[in-house]
Structure formats: C-alpha cells, structure tokens
Amino acid sequence: MTARGSRLTVCGAVGAADWVVAGVGPFGSGVGGLVPHGFEAYARILHPAYAADRSPVTWAQVAAWSGGVVHPRVQFQALAGPVPREGAAGRPWVEEPDPGTLAPPLLAALCDILVRHTTAAGRCWFCVADGHEPADTESSATFTAEEPEPLAPEMAEEPEALAPEMAEGPRVELPERTYLLLEGPLDAAGDLATPLLPQSPNLFWPDDRAWCVTTETDLDSTYLGGTAALIAEIMADERLEAVPVQVTDPVWADSDEINR
C-alpha cells in the first residue's frame, strides 16, 4: 500500500529487516542496542536546540554558554547545566532538541552524504515506530501521533487508514520496539515529514546494507554505522553536528561522565 503523494510503500513482509534484528543488541546496551554491530565506524548526529525565532542552536553553542564539553557521550541536560559559565550572556536556546526525529534540513544533508556510500540508493528500507499511521497531506505522506494537533480547515484532509492486512500484518520486532516497514528510494526519506508534522524515519538502510541510521523515539540524537569513509565525511560536513562513537558507548541521560 502506498499513501497518496508518497514514494514509500508499506511492506507486508519484513524479512528485509532480519539482518538488523540479528545485529542489534539488547535494549539499553548502548549504540549497539540501536544500530547493528559489525560496521567499521559509528557516529552520532546531535539534534539542535532552538532559539526563540526557531533558528537552530548547536550543542557547541550550548557548551560555550554553559562551559561544558561536547564529547561522544554528551547528554543535553548535563551539557546545559543548571547555571551558565561566569560572564555568559543570556541562554541562547528556548527549546530543547527534538527527540525521535531528525529535522528535515538535517535529514536532507545526511542523505546527500549517504547516497555516495551505497550502490542501492534506489531501494532502501524505512522503519517507523508502530502506533503511527500514514496520513495524506497536500504534498507528502507523514506519520502522525494518534492524537495530532489539528490542522487548519483549509489544510486538513481525511486520513487514509491502513488496510486491514497491513494494520494486522507483520512488524519489525526489536527489543522493546516495534516498527512498520516501508520501501522506497533514499531520496524519499523526507516523504514522512511535513512542515507542521516533521517525522524522519526511526530506522533506515539501503538494500546493500552499506550503512544503517537510527533515530530512537526517546533520544535527541541520531546514530549510524557505516564505513570509516562515510563517518569521516559526516564528521566533516558543516551542516551536521556530529561526534564519533563506539558501538559500546551508552546513550541514556545519565551517560555523560564529563558534564556533571
């Protein structure tokens, strides 16, 4: 089934994700509990905070304000700290980083890099956390929460419900997480988002398994594994704020041992 306006097709079989299921460790076991083990290198993309005008605020800017340190295990609450460093001006952000989704400009920047590191950009697999449904919009398909914010009358359209065989069909089962699986080209990764209801894939990879990207629903960072060349390019791209990580690094709020 394909929702109108989207190039992503809901899959009734989930065998394409078997390698991910086999490669991911227990829930809570760190980066390797989110992204399959076995990649040459791993990275973490930090979701930005936001200023009052909704302009992005990097974690480096937060660190400059607080006197903290951005490092592979950094956690936003620890980095932001209860008080600023001595002599700091007003706090540069008013909204904390979004958990569970990578902002559309950052997703586009990431895909610009990912496409150069796969031979299968035309066939990728996308997982979206269960409990969401595809809904039509004027320009693209998105997955919204069960009780989304109402749209303006001129923008609202009747949602397209999942076909019964899809609603009751198989899911990608990972420890403590269940996903709907979709198939489509890499450049359709943004089809899940609209300006009002942004949502990036929670998990996606190309058919050649050259890399894998995870945005866990409760975390304010996106993790990925791939070749050393891919990770190096991500680290060097000024559009993304990224840090290198190890597959064994912890990922939870109490993981920051430096900013305390």
| Cα 61 versus chain centre, distance | 21
Mean pLDDT over the full length of the chain? 85
Q: How confident is the model at residue 15 (pLDDT cuts 50, 70, 90)?
A: very high
Smallest CA-to-CA distance from 198 within 245, 248, 128 is with 128
Higher pLDDT, 199 or 103: 103
How much is the pLDDT for 210? 98
Question: ∠ at Cα 189 (165, 185), nearest 5°?
Answer: 80
Q: Residues, the chain, total? A: 260
Residue type, 206: P
Mean pLDDT of 246-254: 95
Q: What is the pLDDT of residue 5?
A: 56
| Calpha distance 157→153 (Å, rounded) | 8
> pLDDT (tens digit, 9 = 90+) per residue, 142-174?
333 333 344 444 434 433 444 454 556 689 999
Q: What is the pLDDT of residue 135?
A: 39
Tokens of 123: 């066939």
Tokens at 244, concatenated? 């290198």
Quick one: average pLDDT of 32-56?
97
Per-residue pLDDT of 181-217, as tens digits, reads: 999 999 999 988 655 566 899 999 999 999 999 999 9
Q: Are strands 172-174 and 177-184 parallel, antiparallel or unpaired?
A: antiparallel
E strands along the chain, which residues? 9-10, 41-46, 49-50, 56-57, 124-129, 133-135, 142-144, 172-174, 177-184, 203-206, 212-214, 221-226, 242-245
| Confidence (pLDDT) at 157 | 43
Q: How many CB atoms lie within 10 A of CB 53?
A: 6
- pLDDT above 80: residue 138: no
